[in-house]
Amino acid sequence: MFLKNVKRSWFLMFALVVLLFGLVACGGTSTTEEPVAEEPVAEQPVAEQPVAEQPAAAGLESTAAEVKSEFFSQEQYDRSMRQMTMTPEGPADQPWIQMLDNPEMVDTSQYAKDGPYTFCFSNAGVNNPWRVVGWTTMQAEVDLHPEIAELIHVDAEGSDEKQIADIADLVASGNCDVLIVSPNTTAALTPAVEQACAVLPVVVFDRGVFTDCPVSFVQPIGGYAFGEAGARYIIDNCGADCNVLALRILPGVDVLEERWAAAKLAFADAPGINVVGVEFGDGDNAKVKSIVTDYLDRFGKIDAVWMDAGATAVAALEAFEDAGQPYPIIVGEDQQDFLVKWQENNLSGIAPTFPTFQWRTPIIAALKIMNGEEVPAVWRLPQPIVTNENLDQYVQPNMPPLHYAMCGCENMPDFPERWGGTK
C-alpha cells in the first residue's frame, strides 16, 4: 500500500513538472515573439526628421534675433532706404563734408566765440580696429586747424558707467568749449548727454542717443542701410534653400540694432532663406570662429554669413577653411584683411561700410559752432558700398590688415605712416 502511494506521489510530481515546463515554454515562446510587435518602434526616427528643421525657426525667433521697439522706427527705416538712392550735396572728393536729404540747419550764433579752443571728446572706446582708425583720423583732422589749442580725449573703454562719469567730469572741469560724444550704448548715455547739453554745445556722432538736444548729430546713412545692403545681396545671390548664419557684435547700440532690424525684415520676407542662427560674437575672432564651426558641425552647410560689422569676417572664413567647406557668401566691411582675402579668393561678397571718414566731421561741425555758422541738426553723410565690381580700388597692399579703406585720410599729412602703412 505504501509503495503504491509512493508511486502515485512520484507520478503526480512528474506531471506537475511537465506542466510547469509547458507553461515556461509557452511563456518563452511569447517572449521571443514580442519584438515582432515592437518593430514599428525601430521606424520612429523617420517620424522625427522634422526636428532637424527646428533651429531654422529658432534663428529668427531666438533671443539674439529680437528687435526691441525702441530701436526700430519705420519712418527712419523708410528714410534710410530713400537716402541710399540719393546723390549727396558737396564735393565728391570730400564725402566727410557732404550732406544728404536737404537737412534742417541750426543757428549756432549763441555759441560763437574767439579761439583758441579746447575741444573735449568722450569716446566710447578705442577697443576695435575700426575705432583705432577713426581716432587716428580725428587727430589728423585736429592737426589741420591751428585754432584748436587742445583736444582732451577720454576713453570710456567700452563702459557705460565710465563714460557717464567721464562726461560729468569734462563738463564740471569748465575747460571744454565744445563736447564731442561717441556714445558707448544709446539709452544708458542719453541722460549724461542731456545734462551736458544744458551747459555747453554738444556734437554726437557714430552712435546716437535718445534725445535731440545735441546741436548736431553726425552719422552716415546709418544702420538700416548697412543691414539691408548685406541681406539683399545674400537674398539675390544665394538661391533656394539657403542656410544663413547671422553674426552680431553686441546689443543695445542703435546703429547695430538697426542693422539687424533691416536684415531681419529682408530675410523674413525672402522665400528660400533659412536663418539657422543669430549669435553675438562680441567682436572676438576666436569666439566667432568657434560659433561658425559649431554651426557647420550642426547643419552640414552654411551658404551665407551675414555680419553687422566686418572686423571678424576673416575669422569666420577661416572656420570654413578648417572644416574643408566651400566659402560662403559673406558680408564684411572695408577692413583690409577682409578685402584682400575677398580679392585673392574671388569670394562672393559685399562690404556695406560705416565709413571712418565720419570721424573728421565732428571736428568740422564743432569748429562751425565755435564760429557761429549754421550746421545740420542731423548731418547725414554718404555711405559707400564695396562690391565685386569696385573691390580693386579699395584694396591697399601698403596698409596694415586692420586698416579701413574708407578713412578719407589718403590726402592728410603723414599718410600712410600715421595709419601704420608704408609708402
Cell of 151: 583736444
- Domains along the chain with CATH numbers: 53-71+223-352 (3.40.50.2300), 86-221+356-383 (3.40.50.2300)
pLDDT of amino acid 406: 97
For 11-25, 310-324, 409-423, which range has the lowest pLDDT when averaged over its residues?
A: 11-25
User: DSSP of 58-101, one letter per residue?
Assistant: HHHHSGGG---GGG--HHHHHHHHHHTTPPPBS-TT-GGG-B-S
Number of H helices, E strands in the chain: 13, 14
pLDDT of amino acid 58: 66
* Cα–Cα distance measured from residue 311 to residue 423, given in angstroms and rounded to the nearest whole number: 24
* Cα–Cα distance measured from residue 240 to residue 231, given in angstroms and rounded to the nearest whole number: 15
pLDDT digits (tens, 9 = 90+) for 219-243: 999 899 999 999 999 999 998 899 9
pLDDT of amino acid 39: 39
* Cα–Cα distance measured from residue 156 to residue 170, given in angstroms and rounded to the nearest whole number: 12
Residue 354 has pLDDT above 80, yes or no: yes
pLDDT of amino acid 253: 86
* Mean pLDDT score across all residues of the chain: 88
CA distances from 29 to 18, 20, 160 (A): 16, 14, 75
Cell of 219: 552719422
pLDDT digits (tens, 9 = 90+) for 288-307: 999 999 999 999 999 999 99
At CA 408, angle to CA 346 and CA 159, rounded to 5?
A: 90
User: DSSP of 29-42, one letter per residue?
Assistant: HHHHHHHHHHGGGG
CA distances from 283 to 125, 216, 225, 309 (A): 13, 29, 21, 8
Cell of 255: 546703429
Residue 28 has pLDDT above 70, yes or no: no
Mean pLDDT of 358-376: 98
* Cα–Cα distance measured from residue 37 to residue 35, given in angstroms and rounded to the nearest whole number: 5
- Would you call 223 helix, strand, or coil by DSSP? helix
